[in-house]
A and B are shown apart, each in its own frame.
Chain A
Amino acid sequence: MQVRTVSEVTAHIKDILDGDPELGDLWIAGEVSNFKRATSGHCYFTLQDAQAEIRCVMWRQQAMRLSWEPEQGDHVEAHGSVSVYERGGAYQFYVDELARGGVGLRWLQLLQLKARLEAEGLFAPERKRPIPAWPRRIGVVTSPTGAAVRDILRVIGTRYPLVEVVLSPAIVQGSEAPASIAAAIRRLSAEPGIDTVIVARGGGSVEDLWAFNDEAVARAIADSTAPVISGVGHETDLTIADLVADLHTATPSTAAAAAVPDGAMLRANLAAMEARLAQVMSAQLAAKRQNLAQLERVLRRFDPRRQLAEYRQLLDERLQRATRVVQRGLALRRARLDGATARLTALDPQRVLDRGYAIVQDAATGARVRSVEQVRPQQELDVHVSDGHMRTIVVDHTGP
């Protein structure tokens, strides 16, 4: 057999206790003895009955919520878990909720009511109605003077002030509370146009919130014409009102936030949508512009001015060719003319005269004398030489 240390054994025992589901979450009824509140705020006491006792610890945080101080011999019901205090070598009951005797009975009744309503299907998920996304009238059931109503109005006013809040006042604490809350919910059901109902109460002890475990309240919520959001400030178990409500939230503020859209988000969405509008529009304009440019390019190919220009170019080319042809013809003719002129010049009689020849004409008729046979003695002739002419008379001539 192996020898163990004290720590090992204690840790082992602690593991066993901590692992036990029953010991992790239970109610214990008993008499209080030796209740002590230490300067640290933690409370230490013993719970006992005729046969046994168990040491209890209630930490400062939970003890602070106690609205009463248990006295020696008080019958109480404590909720918590059993574990081991290793240094003290003792198992202890770690209490997180402490109720006066008899309240435990109410817990029992509550469990029975819960079971009954659950069997009836009042908690069923398929019964839950969606909370309207865009409410216009919101009914609020709470105390008109509490912090809850201020929180609700502040949250709604900040997030989405476009709604009308219809306050249906109720007593939310004490023996009259259940009937008052139920009646307030029913009044809202009778009111036209209520989109959503908030049933709320600020935080409190289990005792304070007991009205929200009442069957009348549960029925009123189940019967409500508008979906119900619960906002009952509680830290541990859900109340029956929470279970029946279409949506349960932890506080009046969160209930209010769940009832209306988030204005800040809406504003951001609006800005985003405006930006998208501008973006889409400019993208479309750009696309249209590009389209237009494309069309313009196509159109330009068929521009008559462009065709006209082409014709003009063709015409120019032909004109040039024609001009060249004509000019060539002209040059040719000029060359011929020049040749003729040269030949003509060579035939100029003056040049013959210059060379010493003479031209003879009949003075009377002007006829050229080319042969002696044309003249007879005594005939007057005109003889042309290079610088003038003279009248002569034929003296004689010889035959050929």
Chain B
Amino acid sequence: MDSKLLETLSFEEGYDRLEQVIQQLESGDLSLEQSVALYEEGVQLAEYCGHKLDDAELRVNQLLNAAAETVLRIEDAN
């Protein structure tokens, strides 16, 4: 798979695709070129997913509308 294309995948898309790749490989009936291409794609996907998981940082946002600010003020007062 094109590495640029790979970058556009979400973790779960990569993970699902990896499972597909393995199933395809295991089903056999492939030419050597197809097998090798699938294998290379699978290895890339596994690495990609691993990095994605390792490098991710949790993003936290807080809904801050008027109501929420009131809540915060009350909490602080408490």
A278 to B35: give the CA distance in the assembly, Å: 11
If A144-B75, A169-B72, A176-B74 touch, whether A162 touches B53 (CB-CB below 8 Å) is yes
The residues of B that contact A49 with a CB separation of less than 8 Å are none
Query: In the complex, are the beta carbons of B56 and A164 less than 8 A apart?
Result: no
Evaluate contact between B50 and A168: CB separation under 8 angstroms: no
Out of B30, B46, B52, B58, name the residue touching A157 (CB < 8 Å).
Answer: B58
Taking the complex as formed, is A266 at the interface, i.e. its CB lies under 8 A from any CB of chain B? yes
CB nearest neighbor in A for B16: A134
Tell me which residues from 28 to 78 in chain B have a Cβ below 8 Å from any Cβ of chain A. 28, 30, 32, 35-36, 39, 42-43, 46, 49-50, 52-53, 56-63, 65, 67-68, 71-72, 74-76, 78
Give A171-217 interface residues, CB cut-off 8 Å to B: 171, 174, 176, 180, 183-184, 187-188, 191
Q: Is B2 an interface residue (CB 8 A)?
A: no
B58 touches A145 (CB 8 A): no
**Are B53 and A267 in touch, CB under 8 angstroms?**
yes
Given contacts A187-B68, A273-B42, A288-B32, contact A165 B58 (CB under 8 A): yes
Taking a contact as CB atoms under 8 Å apart, the answer to whether A273 and B53 are in contact is: no
Does A315 interact with chain B (Cβ within 8 Å)?
A: no
Contacts A187-B63, A266-B53; is A161 near B25 (CB within 8 Å)? no
Instruction: Tell me if A335 counts as interface (CB < 8 A to partner B).
Output: no
Chain A residues with Cβ below 8 Å from B56 are 161-162
A269→B12 CA distance, assembly (Å):
13
A328 to chain B, nearest CB (A): 62
B12: min CB distance to chain A, Å: 4
Q: Mark A146-175, 1 if CB is under 8 A from B, else 0.
A: 000000010011001111111111110010
Of all chain A residues, the one with the shortest Cβ separation from B63 is: A168
| Beta-carbon contact of B58 and A156 below 8 Å | yes
Residue B19 lies at the interface, judged by CB distance under 8 Å to chain A: yes
Residue from the list B19, B22, B67 in contact with A280, Cβ < 8 A? B22
* B57: chain A residues within 8 A (beta carbon): 161
Which residues of chain A come closer than 8 Å to B74, judged between CB atoms? 171, 176
Given the complex, which residues of A lie within 8 Å of B15, measured CB to CB?
Answer: 266, 269-270
Contact surface of B with A, Cβ cutoff 8 Å: 10-12, 15, 18-19, 21-22, 25-26, 28, 30, 32, 35-36, 39, 42-43, 46, 49-50, 52-53, 56-63, 65, 67-68, 71-72, 74-76, 78
Which residues of A are at the interface with B, using a C-beta cutoff of 8 A? 133-134, 136, 143-145, 153, 156-157, 160-171, 174, 176, 180, 183-184, 187-188, 191, 263, 266-267, 269-270, 273-274, 276-278, 280-281, 284-285, 288
In order of increasing CB-CB distance, the 4 nearest A-B pairs are A134-B12, A161-B56, A157-B58, A161-B58
